[in-house]
Amino acid sequence: MLTIDKLLPRGHGLAPVLVKRAPHVELDWDVRQKSRFDAVDSTGRALGVFLPRGSVVRGGDVLVAQDGSLIRVVAKPQPVLRVTHCSEHGTPFDLLRAAYHLGNRHVALELQPDHLKLEPDHVLAEMLRQMHLIVREADAPFEPEGGAYAAPQTHGHGHGHGHDHGHDQGQGHGHGHAHDHGHDHGHEHDHHGHSHDHHDHGPRA
């Protein structure tokens, strides 16, 4: 097994010709958001990937093995929901509103100028259709946003979400409730509750 412990985002620092000639490995999002996984590249070599915790592998990145070998990463097409606005009864602003609501649920979401992509979830699909958006199933590479906070925390959260989704699409309803509860409880209780206690009880101490 070829051991890999280094990642070069987008092949940074490498000559394009070297990246083009390198063997490739196709990985879906569920695998690419993990820092440790096994895979097989296009030449049939077994790969053991051991990256720093919090690492996320993107399509176009280059993995570097301990012996100096390069392996180009390709984002493997996978089942997704492709969301677009209705040109007759809606506007592109509808997509912005949808992204806001999905973000509140901590949904892994890929943002494009004319569409959104997310992992299959029948509850979320129905919600989006009720917002007069067009939702279609497709097989496509999935590159969700990484988040605006520190990378390790953001990637760690993304891993938990993507892992649940990828392994059981049929539990979309339960998944939706779990995220709503986690978001409301975590943000309102932890932040507001903590601030309230500190503000009320701090001066008395």
43 confidence band (pLDDT: 50, 70, 90)? very high
Residues 77-103: tens digit of each pLDDT: 999 999 999 877 778 899 999 999 999
The residues spanned by each domain of the chain are 2-75, 78-189
| pLDDT at position 160 | 38
For residue 159, the tally of other CB atoms under 10 A from its CB is 17
For residue 124, the tally of other CB atoms under 10 A from its CB is 24
pTM above 0.75, yes or no: no
CATH number among 3.10.105.10, 3.30.70.790, 3.40.50.720, 3.30.70.890, domain 78-189: 3.30.70.790
Q: Do domains 2-75 and 78-189 have the same CATH topology?
A: no
pLDDT higher than 60, residue 125? yes
pLDDT higher than 80, residue 191? no
User: In the chain, what is the greatest distance between 2 CA atoms, to the nearest angstrom?
Assistant: 69
10 confidence band (pLDDT: 50, 70, 90)? very high
Could you tell me which CATH class the domain 2-75 is placed in?
mainly beta
For residue 58, give Cα distances in angstroms to 11, 38, 71, 85, 117: 11, 16, 13, 27, 16
Task: Output the average pLDDT for the chain.
Answer: 80
Which amino acid, one-letter code, is at 166?
Answer: G
What's the CA gap between 7 and 56, in Å, rounded?
9
144-173: average pLDDT: 45
